Every structure is written in C-alpha cells, then in structure tokens.
C-alpha cells in the first residue's frame, strides 16, 4: 500500500492540495484555496471538513470520532453503500454497508475552476462478498470550492443484476438543533423509523423536537437547512436521488452512541441525498449509476 509520502508525491499540488497525516495516522487530503478549505480522509473517502471562503465550518465532526480501520468516523459525510441502516437479512452485518469503514484508493487530484477535484475508488472483494454477493466498482468524486459537489458513481462489474441502497449521510453543523428548520419536504410522504416506519405526510417545514429518523419518499427537491443561530442556510441540490433522510439522535440516542458526546446532538442535523428502501437502485451487468449532491451556503455566519 502506498505511503502518505508516495501519494503526496504522485498526486499533491503544493500549497493547494496535499496528502497529509490526519487523526491517528490516517491519510487525508487537505485542500486550501482562496475559495475553500476541506479535508477528505481516504478512510471511507469521507469528507470531514468544508469551509467556503470567509464562512464558518459547514460540517459537524464529533470530538469522540474514531479514526480506526473498521470503524466509522462520526460526522462529516459518510458514504452508505450498498445498504442503509441495518441489513435486513443479516443483523450482524456492519450498519450502513461496507465502504464507509474501509480505506479507498486515491486516484486523482486536479484543479478545476475555483475548486479542487479529488477522486477515490473502491471495489468488491472478499470482505464485501461476505455480506453482499455482487461485483461492483465505486468511484467518488469530490469537488471542493465555494460549493461542495459530490458524485458517487457505482458500476456493476458482475454478471447478474445488483440492487443497492446508497446515501451521502451529511452531518450539517448547526448552532442549536432545536432551532433549526429543514425546508423542501412539505407535503412529502415519509416513513417514521421512530414509530415503526409508519407512513406519514410532512406538513410545513421539518423541525426537531425529539429523536428523528425519517425517510422521505419519491422526492427530488432541494433541501435547505435554515439555522437562525449561525444565521445561515445550507442548501443541498440532489441528483438522481429519490429519497431524503433526516436524522437527529436527540438526547437519548446520543447517550447510546460511544463516539458521540452526550450533548453533541445539538450541534448537527442530518439531511441527505439517498436512494433507499423501495427506491433502491437496480443495475444490470455493465451499467453505471451516478448519485450526487451539491452543497452551498447562504448567510452571514462570517469569520472575523
């Protein structure tokens, strides 16, 4: 496996994008341009920080996050694939799939306009086949600039049709979850995972008054996280995503998670592009599917 030095010599752009040692010795790409700063770990191909110029951090990262092989990083934007939540037919399978806890292969770093594009790849192997018997290749393209543009490209490299779920599980950093509103889901049918996945219909904006885990169905609308404390709006434009997941563990859920501080639930809400449950993706052999999201920030949360 290539060392951090090798990767930096091959892909690094001095003063712009460099492969460096991150938490617990893990390799990460650090982007620093006039437009934005970002950090992306090879572990899970996970974006853990994005700060457009003159704004505060957009993504939440827990102070208790684990940076270990086989463990998920709590915060940022984990990639969930090829299933979401627990695997229904295999309770002992890792939550949210097999790719968020493995090291991806860095395949490129390039300049593009005001941003930097970082690409990663991973593919099926013996470890993934233990839980998911299909052959696949996944490419992840992150463009970090004034906008954060994410593309997950999945290719069926096997000889049979594959079905999978996917999500870009975005932790939006907020001033106080109890004061946040999520716009773009009014009138949408959703399944309430805190109420036995009962089908309900959203009325007006989403607000957080208790533990929340909703899967909004057949929706392609832009999401807007309205944060009156940080005086900003975080927008997510989805591509080829027909479901939206909204989540916050609240007090009870936070206490049950070893890698999340008891009070950190106030500091984030998740609202993300996904294709899950009945909207899972089916790919024939040789076919490719691309799901994406573009994050942008409007508001006055300006650094001094």
CB atoms closer than 10 angstroms to residue 64 = 14
The secondary structure element, H or E, covering residue 108 is strand 105-112
| Residue whose entry in the numeric block shows the structure tokens 């779920």 | 165
Helices within the chain (DSSP H only): 4-11, 126-129, 250-255
For the chain, what percentages of helix, strand and coil (3-state, to nearest 5) are there?
10, 45, 40
Q: What is the largest CA-CA distance in the chain?
A: 56
Select which of 43, 134, 169, 172 is catalytic.
169
Q: DSSP states of 209-258 as a string?
A: SS-EEEEEES--PPEEEEETTTTEEEEEEEES--EEEEEE-HHHHHHT-T
Question: Would you mind telling me the total number of residues written for the chain in this entry?
Answer: 304
Which of 137, 118, 124 has the alpha carbon at shortest distance from 98?
124
Torsional sign, CA 237, 87, 60, 19: negative
Instruction: Tell me, yes or no, if 169 is annotated catalytic.
Output: yes
The secondary structure element, H or E, covering residue 61 is none
> CA–CA separation, 19 vs 50, rounded Å?
16
Instruction: Tell me, yes or no, if 178 is annotated catalytic.
Output: no
CA 91 to chain centre: 23
Rounded to a whole number of angstroms, the CA Rg of the chain reads 18
Cβ atoms 182, 223 nearer than 8 A? yes
Select which of 39, 166, 237, 272 is catalytic.
272
What's the number of CA atoms in the CB half-sphere (13 Å) around residue 295? Answer: 32
Q: Annotated catalytic sites, by residue?
A: 169, 272
């Amino acid at each position: 496996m290539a060392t951090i030095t090798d990767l930096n010599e091959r892909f690094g752009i001095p003063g712009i994008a460099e492969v460096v040692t991150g938490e617990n010795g893990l390799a990460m790409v650090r982007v620093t341009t006039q437009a934005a700063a970002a950090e992306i770990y090879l572990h899970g191909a996970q974006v853990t920080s994005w700060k457009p110029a003159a704004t505060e951090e957009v993504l939440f990262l827990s102070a208790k996050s684990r940076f270990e092989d086989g463990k998920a990083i709590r915060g940022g934007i984990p990639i969930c694939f090829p299933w979401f939540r627990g695997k229904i037919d295999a309770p002992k399978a890792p939550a949210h799939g097999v790719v968020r806890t493995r090291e991806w292969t860095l395949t490129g770093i390039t300049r593009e306009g005001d941003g930097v594009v970082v690409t990663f790849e991973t593919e099926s192997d013996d470890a993934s086949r233990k839980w998911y018997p299909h052959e696949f290749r996944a490419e992840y393209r992150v463009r970090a600039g004034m906008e954060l543009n994410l593309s997950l490209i999945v290719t069926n490299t096997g000889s049979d049709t594959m079905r999978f779920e996917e999500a870009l599980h975005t932790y939006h950093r907020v001033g106080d979850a109890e004061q946040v509103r999520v716009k773009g889901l009014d009138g949408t049918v959703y399944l309430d995972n805190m109420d036995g996945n009962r089908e309900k219909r959203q009325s007006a904006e989403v607000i957080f008054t208790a533990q929340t885990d909703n899967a909004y169905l057949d929706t392609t609308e832009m999401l807007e996280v309205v944060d009156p404390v940080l005086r900003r709006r975080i927008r997510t434009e989805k591509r080829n995503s027909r479901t939206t997941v909204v989540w916050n563990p609240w007090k009870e859920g936070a206490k049950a998670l070893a890698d999340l501080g008891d009070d950190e639930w106030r500091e984030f809400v998740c609202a993300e592009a996904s294709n899950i449950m009945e909207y899972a993706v089916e790919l024939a052999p040789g076919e490719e599917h691309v799901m994406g999201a573009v994050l942008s920030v409007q508001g006055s949360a300006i650094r001094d």
